[in-house]
Structure 1
Amino acid sequence: MIVIGRWLIALCGPERVAWELGLDRQAVRSERLGHQPDGEADTRQGVAVKGIVLAGGSGTRLHPITQAVSKQLLPVYDKPMIYYPLSVLMLAGIREILIISTPEDLPLFRRLLGNGEQLGLRLDYAVQPQPNGLAEAFVIGADFIGDDSVALVLGDNIFYGHGFPRMLAAQVVDLDGCVLFGYAVQDPERYGVGEVDAHGRLISIEEKPATPKSNKAITGLYFYDNDVVEIARGLRPSPRGELEITDVNLTYLRQGRAKLVDLGRGFAWLDTGTHDSMLAAGQFVQVLEHRQGVRIACLEEIALRMGYIDAAACHALGAKLAKSGYGQYVMAIAAGGSTTDDVS
């Protein structure tokens, strides 16, 4: 018998587990269906995790472009910006996702992504009328979250790195508290900064410190247990009138339930909040895609590799975009034309 935790199969899908581990897909499907040797009880359990993409804000640093369209709908090379954070949640095995945006922009996201069924997802939508802080996402999304844990990703963040799906999957197992992701930067004073001790334990969090205690910026990807809803509801607005995500993280830190996972040198984390960073991100994606012949954050490919849709459905999605190189790539993937060993 193949001993694979059902949490992993439920999280990633049997096709993805087989693909990652080089196993027979039918054997993995049998494991998912609960086929056990006689007399063997299965007590393994998973953690239900939902996702939120926060795609609101006014994008003032990108004016005048964002006076007409949401920042998260702007192109980063060959696809809309929101594809990148959405791909992160999909790679984490998360299929129920809430997209939060402004009243003006939400219909455009619906038009682009629909209900997510074509990708094997369930997409919901909610309005953030004013940019009242990142932590307001948990208040707005309380009914959507229900009793589950939740991952929040900012709509203008791009993550890329080999093995990223396995890293994400490992963090949501038995999630108790919060998991933050740190990334070494040259200018940590511009970010929230996490400090760890000699054993890698998170010991302090500071927001844009004048004298940073480390160079580990806290990225725009956060995993929380269900307590985050009540923590967010209990926050008081900061001097700038917002519910701060740093205050949420500090609450978990005081409880001894905050963890910082270091994204090492093999990863890229890009913030696309300025004109220069948008251009740099597009060039980064262009170079990788042209050099390797793969597409970064191709939602259709991820849905296929994760087992959310089958090859026929993937091909149909590509056929709708057949006049573009992106659509041709999706159809080739559906036909088995990819040689990549990792999808990010």
Structure 2
Amino acid sequence: MKGVILAGGRGTRLRPVTYVLNKHILPVYDKPMIFYPVETLLSGGIDEIMVISTPRDIGGYIQLLEEEYDANFSYRVQKEPGGIAHALSLAEEFVEDTAAVILGDNVILENLAEEFRSFEEEDSGAKIFLNEVDEPKRYGVAELNENGEIDSLIEKPSSPETNNAVIGLYLYRADVFERIRELEPSDRGEYEITDVNKGYLQDDDLEFARIEGEWFDVGTPEGLFKASQCVRKKRTN
């Protein structure tokens, strides 16, 4: 399994600091934000990792990550933001069979090696991860039926009927790139990863798991603060 970290975007929720800095190098307590998704992949047994970021920032990641980790990193530039699915499409030549795709602003303080291993042994095309949140309208959400199965996926619903957010970690087989090529841009003008996952759901080829440990979306000031508090508590206990 290969790892793909998506670390581009404009960081609008963290402005004004992100006018001049890529958000993924902001500190979550004592480490740059991007170190956390790297460590999620490494702890899951993945040491071949592609980082996808902006033309301005990719050089800094090369220096930062190569100095810190003994892993096989490669890099691609996303020239303009076009959505998560568009960024993932840049990793097509890198991914051979399966991939763990993680957003650079997701901090997951849980070892997911078993989830990664089981996906490789299963025959499902994709796997997503859910976590209950206080503001589900900021996320893609999964509505479950009475059998506890995913009934529908909705991107940033205005009046969500569930608080099951789809977090920024996805497991895919290589056919995901064929599905991305078939996408049409959303009303936001982006290629949405939720539309990719909907395709798997319609084909009855989508699995899910819940994150049992701490998870933070650190793309907001509040998320960044809470994650730093949690990490500090773990480091000092």
Give the distance between the partners of 2:16 and 2:155, measured in 1 at CA: 28
Q: Does 1:140 align with 2:86?
A: no
Q: 1 CA distance for matches of 2:161 and 2:155?
A: 11
Q: Output the amino acid matched with 2:64.
A: L
Cα distance in structure 2, aligned partners of 1:175 and 1:138? 21
Q: Which runs of 5+ in 2 are unaligned?
A: none
1:97 aligned partner: 49
Deviates more, 1:211-220 or 1:223-232: 211-220
User: Which residues of 2 match residues 38-57 of structure 1 at below 5 A?
Assistant: 49-57=1-9
- Report deviation, 1:171: 3.1
Q: RMSD between aligned alpha carbons?
A: 1.7
Answer yes or no: is the 8 Å Cα contact 1:138–1:228 preserved in 2.
Answer: no
Task: Give the superposition deviation at 1:199.
Answer: 3.1
TM-score normalised over the length of structure 1: 0.66
Higher helix share: 1
User: What is the SS of the residue equivalent to 1:144?
Assistant: coil
- 1:289 equivalent to 2:235? Answer yes
Secondary structure at the counterpart of residue 93 of structure 2: helix
Cα distance change on mapping 1:199 and 1:172 into 2, 3 Å: farther
Counterpart residue type for residue 90 of structure 1: L
1:178 to 106, 116, 126: 126
Alpha-carbon separation, structure 2, partners of 1:208 and 1:68: 28
CA contact (8 A) 1:175 1:225 kept: no
Unaligned runs of 5+ in 1: 1-48, 292-344
How far 1:170 sits from its partner (Å)? Answer: 2.6
Residue 6 of structure 2 contacts residue 88 of structure 2 at CA under 8 Å; is this kept in 1? Answer: no
Q: Counterpart in 1 of 2:20?
A: 68
Work out which of the residue numbers 254, 260, 267 in structure 1 matches 2:202.
254
Aligned residues: 237
Residues 151 and 223, structure 1, Cα contact 8 Å, conserved in 2: yes
Identity within the alignment, %? 41
- In the alignment, structure 1 residue 218 sits paired with structure 2 residue 166: yes
Using a 3 Å threshold, how does the CA distance of structure 1 residues 93 and 196 change in structure 2: closer, same or farther?
same
Which residue pairs with 2:73 in the alignment? 123
Would the aligned equivalents of 2:124 and 2:207 in 1 still touch at CA under 8 Å?
A: no
Which structure has more relative contact order (CA 8 Å, sep 6+)? It is 2
Aligned to 2:223: 277
Separation in structure 1 between the aligned mates of residue 120 and residue 214 of structure 2, nearest angstrom: 21
- Between the aligned partners of 1:126 and 1:115, the Cα distance in structure 2 is 18
* Structure 2 counterpart of 1:157, from 106, 111, 115: 106
**TM-score normalized by structure 2?**
0.94
- Looking at structure 1, the residues matched to 127 and 227 of structure 2 have their Cα atoms a distance apart, in angstroms, of 25
- Taking the aligned partners of 1:84 and 1:135, their CA distance within structure 2 comes to 21
**Aligned residue for 2:64?**
112
